A and B are shown apart, each in its own frame.
Chain A
Amino acid sequence: MITRRAAGAAIAAAAVAGLASGCLSSTPSTSSNNGAAASGAGKSTVEVMYGFSNEQETAFQKDVNKYAQSIGVTVKFTKAGSWDTEINARVSGGTPPDVGLFPQPGLMCDLAKQQKLIPYDDATVSTDKETLVNGFVDAGTCADGKVYGLPSSVSVKSLLWYDQAAFKAGGYTVPTTLDELTSLTDKIRGEGKTPWCIAAESGQATGWPITDWIEDLVLRYAGPDNYDKWVKGELKFNSPEIKPAFDYFQKIAFTDGNVRGGTKAIVATNFQTGGNGLFTQPPGCYLFKQATFIAAKGGFPDNVVANLDKTVGVTAFPAKTAGDNPVEAGGDLAAAFNNDANVLKIRNFIASKDNGTEVGKAGYFSPHKTFDASLYPNNTIRTIATDVLYKASVARFDGSDLMPAKVGAGTFWTEPVKWISGQEDETTMLDNIDKSFPKTSS
């Protein structure tokens, strides 16, 4: 009896030990040297990690592989399903990739501060600066004044979408200033129609589309310098510079009859399909603000996407004064974790104006003004590139991505949602966001 019990215990314990040893044996074999010293000739395999997918991923791999082959380097592509989580895990586990494409500079600068990243050399920065849209180099500059990331491909957020036919039928003109936008809104509402579709439901990220609205308005009302201060927490949400942005949004979104489904519908309507009202008969709404991605599959209805150029109208989100058009963008910043000659070559290529041919064909923008716009797949994308992105007076990255996560992925989403769904007023919302802003600036 005793022997049988012992054997049972032994098997159970052996299973535990087996599991444990199984875990140990699965430790990644790749380990990269994080030291400052360049490792001479350069690695033959460079790992590039990113968070995008689908056509963008395939096109990006094609572009990078073509270059890598020319310098005799093999590139190992790693896709992170959830970028922040995975890159944090890799870095804290001591096995970061060689090159990472950060979807926003916030986390990148955090890692730069921990000295996990290699800055760009001055020559590369000044070459890229010549062709980059004004403001993108600043976006990748961290607190120590060094440039750690430069964008490879960007998306444009400051866009106003409409339906060409509906606009023509109504006899409306495309607004170029915020005042014109207000009067157009009033005009459409005056005709008994609903001017706006606003949609901010995004599952666990509900609220972020509102931040894009506010950021664009802050960029316009407060200007790029104040925008930067606001993002860093030096200007409060309830300051006289920033509050007008919320006031303008309130005028658009809270006025009875302005938004399809009423104010309460904003936080319940999905951001992907929320603009589909533009194309119903009769139109459910006439104006919709959303980033470029909305004009692809999954966004506007399939029959609209199939006939994009003939159906969809797009223009820069109106400026405060006509012509001075700041653009809010998102993008992937290439940064290096490894001071190795080949790693730096790959990183510098990814950020250079020579990169992006295939990515451009797939409909993603190069941040370089010299990019051959004829490569873009359709007129809508081309219009956005030439009329909005490359004509922009200044570009700024998505501010909520740059703010401390507590605000940028926290209260800046949740508090406006409470405001819009009527749980609190504007002042309370602004005060709550300010209160949540971490005291120590990074």
Chain B
Amino acid sequence: MVIKILNALIAIIGGIGGAMIIFWILNKLAESLKGKWEDRVKPWMFAGPAILAIGVYLIYPAIVTIQYSFANDQTTAYVGVQNYVDLLTDSTFLQALFNNVLWIIIVPAATVVLGLGVAVLADRLNPGGEKFSKTLIFLPMAISMVGASVIWKTTVFDYQPAGTPQTGLWNAILGLFDKGPLSWLQTDTLHLNSLLLMLILVWSQVGYAMVLLSAAIKGVPEDTVEAGRIDGAGERRIFFSIIVPQIWGTIVTVFITVLIGVMKVFDIVYVLTNGQFNTDVIGRRFYDELFTFRNNGYASTIVVILLVAVIPVLVYQVRHFRAEEAAR
């Protein structure tokens, strides 16, 4: 153990030291060039290694994944767009896609609205109460998704056959009213089980939204609010016409961060239902295709579909960021 730690330390020190020496040498090399060329080359000397790292660890795998998506399950021969045709005509995959759309519509919006609500209301509490309530709501952030899923499954959604003590909270409550136990996670009427899974993600993400939005609200200049009051605006008007426009940037950032997280959702669905009972999402389907069914083609195809779906969001985010920077 000690040796392992020492090894790690040596690796870190050696790595950082080595990298610094490399940069020092690169810098010297650039300086040895004459005149204009020094200025032209120098930025590349410093940005180069980072670009290389991104190229090797991000761009290259992405390209290979796209390539694999046109190949068969063992990646031994090209099959054209067959993988895309197969998946997009597979009713279970379309079902998963539809569930993803539900997640995308519901979760980021719910998280932002709830987070904003908590942030606004907590802002009005006394400092002690604010700290306490915010801490409480932020707590779930500290639990891993898998842990959170197991907690919800065993303490809230748990189902025991009728006639035995119900250990799940909701079924215990139903029991108080002499209602039979409901198998929550197996009931897909109106996508109930999917909604319950979303609830877990919202529960764990509201804290994140709240912290950022709360900071933004506190950053709203008091005089703008006061000016509104003097002009006779009500609380609601102040909130929607003065506070919200000023924190809009933060709202969009939180929304997009949660949105990207939701598009990749996997753990909650994997732990609680493994996509059965009509709760599948494509992130989980990808895992199944790659690790259970060992089908590189389908797995890569799903990743590419996800990639394509994420691009507009990323483009919007970058644009939005640039616009904000320009406005500053």
Contact = CB atoms under 8 A, between A and B. Distances in A.
A10 B23 contact: yes
B277 interface: yes
Nearest to B14: A21
B152 to A, nearest CB: 12
B186 A267 contact: yes
Contacts of A405: 292-294
Given A84-B291, A405-B293, A410-B292, A20 B276 contact: no
B151 interface: no
A268 interface: yes
A265 interface: yes
Interface stretch (B123-131, B161-169, B206-214): B161-169
A85 B287 CA distance: 11
A12 B46 CA distance: 10
A15 interface: yes
A18 to B, nearest CB: 3
Given A18-B19, A265-B183, A277-B164, A206 B288 contact: no
A264 B183 contact: yes
Interface majority SS on A: helix, strand, loop or mixed?
A: helix
Contact of B277 (A197, A260, A421): A421
Contacts of A404: 293
Interface in A247-264: 260-261, 264
B16 A17 contact: yes
A108 interface: no
B8 A14 contact: no
Contact of A410 (B14, B159, B186, B288): B288
Contact of B276 (A84, A265, A406, A417): A417
A205 interface: yes
B19 A17 contact: yes
A6 B16 contact: no
A18 B15 contact: yes
Interface residues of B, number: 43
B162 A16 contact: no
Interface in A388-424: 404-406, 409-410, 413-414, 417, 421, 423
B11 interface: yes
Interface in A192-218: 197, 201, 203-207
Contacts of B12: 18, 22
Interface string B50-78: 10010000000000000000000000000
Contact of B19 (A14, A26, A261, A264): A14
Contact of B271 (A14, A84, A203, A410): A203
B49 interface: yes
A18 B16 CA distance: 5
Nearest to A85: B291
A206 B18 CA distance: 51
Contact of A268 (B186, B278, B295): B186
Contacts of A203: 153, 271-272, 274
> Which of B8, B12, B275: most chain A CB closer than 10 A?
B12
Interface in B11-30: 11-12, 14-16, 18-20, 22-23, 27
A10 B294 contact: no
A20 B277 contact: no
A211 to B, nearest CB: 14
Given A18-B12, A207-B276, A405-B293, A261 B46 contact: no
B270 interface: yes
Q: How large is the interface on A (under 10, 10 to 19, 20 to 34, 35 or more residues)?
A: 35 or more
B273 interface: yes
A9 interface: yes
B148 interface: no
Contact of B163 (A6, A201, A207, A284): A284
A404 B275 CA distance: 19
A406 B295 CA distance: 9
A194 to B, nearest CB: 9
Nearest to B20: A14
Interface in A1-39: 6, 9-22, 25-26
Of A197, A410, A413, most buried by chain B (CB within 10 Å of CB) is A410
A152 interface: no
A204 B185 contact: no
Nearest to A21: B15
A280 B295 CA distance: 46
B274 A205 contact: yes
Nearest to B7: A25
Contacts of B27: 6, 10
Interface string A78-105: 0000001100100000000000000000
A378 B161 CA distance: 30
Nearest to B188: A423
A260 B159 CA distance: 13
A269 interface: yes
B271 to A, nearest CB: 6
A166 to B, nearest CB: 15
A417 B188 CA distance: 13
Contacts of B20: 10-11, 14
A261 B160 CA distance: 9
Contacts of B49: 13, 16-17
A268 B293 contact: no
A15 B16 contact: yes
Interface in B271-303: 271-278, 288, 291-295
Nearest to B183: A268
A206 B291 contact: no
B6 to A, nearest CB: 12
18 contacts: A9-B47, A13-B19, A17-B15, A17-B19, A17-B22, A17-B49, A21-B18, A22-B8, A201-B159, A203-B272, A204-B270, A206-B274, A261-B161, A277-B161, A284-B164, A405-B294, A406-B295, A410-B293
Given A206-B274, A268-B185, A268-B186, 4 more contacts: A13-B46, A18-B12, A206-B273, A414-B276
Interface of B: 7-8, 11-12, 14-16, 18-20, 22-23, 27, 46-47, 49-50, 53, 153, 159-164, 183, 185-186, 270-278, 288, 291-295
> What are the nearest 7 A-B pairs in CB distance?
A268-B183, A18-B15, A17-B19, A204-B274, A21-B15, A14-B19, A261-B161
Interface of A: 6, 9-22, 25-26, 84-85, 88, 197, 201, 203-207, 260-261, 264-265, 267-269, 276-277, 280, 284, 404-406, 409-410, 413-414, 417, 421, 423
